[in-house]
Structure 1
Amino acid sequence: MVAIGRFNQLEIIKERSVGYFFDGGEDGDILMPKRHQPEHCEVGDFLNVFIFHDAEGRLTATTRIPSAQVGEVAWLKVVEVHRIGAFLDWNMTKDLLVPIREQVELMVPHQSYLVYIHLDEDQRIIGSSRLEKFIQDENQGQFSYGQEVDLLIAEETDLGFKAVVDNSHWGLIYSNEIFQPLHIGQKAKGYIKKLRDDGKIDVALEKPGYSPDRIEELARRIYQRIQLFDGFLPLTDKSPPEVIQDEFQVSKKNFKQAVGKLYKERRILIEEKGLRAVK
C-alpha cells in the first residue's frame, strides 16, 4: 500500500492522454495528471511522488513538494474559512482543511497557525492545531544527549522558546542560550542538551560540548572583525555576555575559547580594553 500524504517511490507503468499511471500495488494504478508531470520521464522510471486525494477522492500523484507531510508540523496561513472549517495554504493545488473540531480556537483568514498534518478516519489528509493530541511531553528513549534534531519554534515563554522536536516531542530552548533571532514558525537545526528526570527535553541551537570546528570558525570571524577595525576590537573575554552576543551571536564561553585560540597562535594581544592584532 502507498503512504497517503507522504512521498513514495513508485514506478510509471503506462502513459495515457490524461497523464502517467503509477503502480500503487494494493491501491491500484495511481494517476499523475499532465499538469503535475515533470520533464524527462517515461514508462519504467521510478519517481519520488507525493500521494494525495483529488477533488473526487481519487488517489493522485505529484512531484510538487508540500509544506509538510502527514506526521509533520507546519506553520501555515489560512486562505479562507467555511462552515466546515478553515483551508490553509500548504503549497498544493488543493488547500489543507482544518475542520472546526480540530481547531483550538476559530481560525481567522490570513493568520498563520501551527498545524499537525494527519489522516482522518476516512484516510483524508487534514490538519489540526490541537497539537497536544500528537506531540508528546516526555522522552521515552527516542532521544540521546547531543543528538541532532529538527526544530520548529512554537511559542515564546518566560524561560525561552518552546519548540517541536522532530515532529513528535516538545522541547525547550532557554533564553540565555539563544544567540540569534527566533520567531514562531521558524525551522532550525538543534541538539538534545539534556534529558531531564521528569522526561522533559531541553534543546540547544548549538551542539553541546567543545567543537573544534565551531571554535575555529568563530576565531576566524573575530580576527576578521579585528582587522576591519584597523587592528583593534574593543571587546575582551571579560566583556558582558550581552555585548558579545550582540556582536557575534555566540555565548561568552565560546567567545573566550576562540579568543584563547587566537592568543595561543600569537595572532592577537589581549589588552585591558580590547583585542589587538599582532603585526
Structure 2
Amino acid sequence: MNNILGRIVSGKVTDENDKSYFVQIEGVTFLLDKSEIVKPLHIGSKFSGFAYENEDHKMQITRDAPKVQIDHFAFGQVVQSKYGLGVFVDIGLPNKDIAVSIDDLPELTKLWPKHGDYLMIALKVDKKGRIWGELADEQIFKDISTPGGKELMNHNLQATTYRLKLAGTRVITDDYHLGFIHPSERDVEPNLGKHVNVRVIGVLRDGTLNLSMKPRGYEAIDGDSKMLFAVLKHSDDYKLPYTDKSSPDDIKKYFGISKGQFKRAVGHLLKNRLVEQINGELKLTQKGIEFSIEE
C-alpha cells in the first residue's frame, strides 16, 4: 500500500452502485464517488486519481487531487489538535484531515499550531499503511524561496512561521522570501504556523530578511503618550517635574488626564526608551530628543 496511498495512481473500474464506482489497484478496491464524474465510466475502463484512506477507514480514490502528496509539499490549514497525538491539517480532501505527529511539533504545547494556522507538509505512509503529514524542512523552504532585495527595507509584510528555535523564529513571507525574527524583535514568541505581520529591518547578502514584529516607534505612541511626548519636546531642557509618583490632582491640573492615563502614557514612552524618570522629574532620553513623532 505504501506505493499507492498519497499518490496519483491508475486502476481499473470493476463495479458500481448508485453512489460509487469501484476501482481496483494492485488487488485493492477503492471507492470513487460518482458525484465527481461528469461522463459515466464503463466497467473495465481505466481511471487515474489520488488514493487515500478516508475517515471511515475505507480506501478511496478521487479525481480532485490535493496539492499535498507524497514528496509534494504545500500549505494546509490546521483544523484541530489532539493532546497526545498532534494536529490535523485540511489539505482539501472532503472526508480526510491529515495528522502531523506530536513528535514533529514543539515540546511546548502552547507553541503548537492553532486552528486556522498553516503548515507546509507532504505526505508519508507508515508501515501500518497510515497517512501522516511530514513537515517541510529548512532545505524545502530554501528551494521554494526567492531572495529579498534592499528595496524591501522598512516594508510591512506578512509571513508564516515554520521553525521555532531559541535563537529566533524562522518565517517565509507571502512572497516566498525567507526571514528571521530575533527574540528581541518580538514581544511574544509566535506559535508554529502562525501568520504574522512583520517589518523588514535588514536584508542579508543571501537575500534573507531580518524582521521585526514590533511596531515602529511612532506607531507605538498614540493618544496620551503622544500628547505627553509633545509637551516634553516643547519644555525647557526636555523635562517636567512630574512622574508616576506625582499626585492625581497635580497631574489632572497640568495635563488634564487622570493619573491612570498618565501612568499608561509614561509606561509606553519608557518601553520605547524615549523618556526616563530621575530625581522626581520626567525627561526625554537622547533617543527621545532625536525622535520625531511624525517619522
Q: TM-score range by the shorter chain?
A: 0.3 to 0.5
When normalised by structure 1's length, the TM-score is: 0.47
TM-score, normalised to structure 2's length? 0.44
